[in-house]
Amino acid sequence: MQTSGGAQRFTHEQWPCEPKFRRVNGWRMHYIDEGAGDPVVLLHGNPAWGFLYRKFVKPLTAAGRRVIVPDMIGFGLSEKPTREQAHTLDGHIANLTSLLRQLDVRNATMVCHDWGGPTGLGFALSNRDRVRALVIMSTWAWPLPAAEFHKRIFPWRMMHAPLVGPYLLGRHNALAGRGMYLSVVDRKKFAAEAQPIYEEVLPDPGSRLLTWTWPRWIPLDESARGFARFEWLERELKTSNFPTLLVWGREDEVFDQKTFATRFKELLPHAEGPELVTGRHFLQEDSGVEIAEKINSFLDRIDGGQS
């Protein structure tokens, strides 16, 4: 498979999905659209892409579901703008909205992980007539407090400083490389099977802009540029009655289960879970098939409750 940039190739065994592209707000977005039935939209964060969900596709499509996995603009096989102004949280929500409206997605289950949380929830809470259910994993949707991990001077805040961030994450691809490696449980398997592909789709500093600019939207105080959007997300989420499943990695240190899953339970007391699986922040790498089956069981229960 060749990417939109024309340089990277993957075997069918590594990524056995047909690439599709749409123009969203002037950018070329890559996505996959497999199977038939009610759609399940799988949303990645930073610095991942749709490949993160490769273990989900077969279990979900085999259960009679349509699987849509977009690459956020700036990641994966999608176009990678080289201007920081192209990468705002509202912009990413608008890009996702454009894609799903073009595909006329309805009765969708939004699977939200990392930055796919604020992005996917932003879509869901603005398009309630198109959404059926939520699956929330290792993410957040409120302004403060940030995760303890994101408040540390080293390594997080230093990595996103004006000079250090572009050097480590831009020139040396530290987040897609060592960052992801440290955020899985089975590191040996990840290094052999997946890490080269995550690094390959971010081949040069220009293509890695989003890896060090997107985290600057994580609110650390009330002056943060994303503060108002996260206030809106928290306020709207409290009014949500979407059936919701929480799935968390036992070993997650970025959005730890005790703090963040508990907060989601406070906002969404009707939510199921959290169901714990083996996994650090990128729990899909360690427990992809298991999580997909949990999603199938969750949606089957919804179907049974509606019959």
| Interval 145-182: pLDDT, tens | 777 776 765 555 555 555 455 545 555 455 666 778 88
- At residue 6 the predicted structure's pLDDT band, cuts being 50, 70 and 90, is very low
Segment 89-102 shows an average pLDDT of 97
- For the chain, what is the mean pLDDT? 88
Which of 109, 105, 104 lies closest to 121 in space, CA to CA? Answer: 109
Average of per-residue pLDDT across 213-218: 80
What residues are paired with 111 via a beta bridge?
Answer: 42, 135
Are 217 and 92 in contact by the 8 Å Cβ rule? The answer is no
Of the two residues 250 and 201, the one the predictor is more confident about is: 250
- The pLDDT assigned to 154 comes to 56
The average pLDDT across 233-258 equals: 96
Percent of the chain with pLDDT over 70: 86
Q: What residues are annotated to the active site?
A: 114, 252, 281
State the pLDDT at residue 167. 44
Angle at 135 between CA 39 and CA 89, to 5 degrees: 90
pLDDT of residue 69: 98
Which domains does the chain carry? 20-148+227-306 (3.40.50.1820)
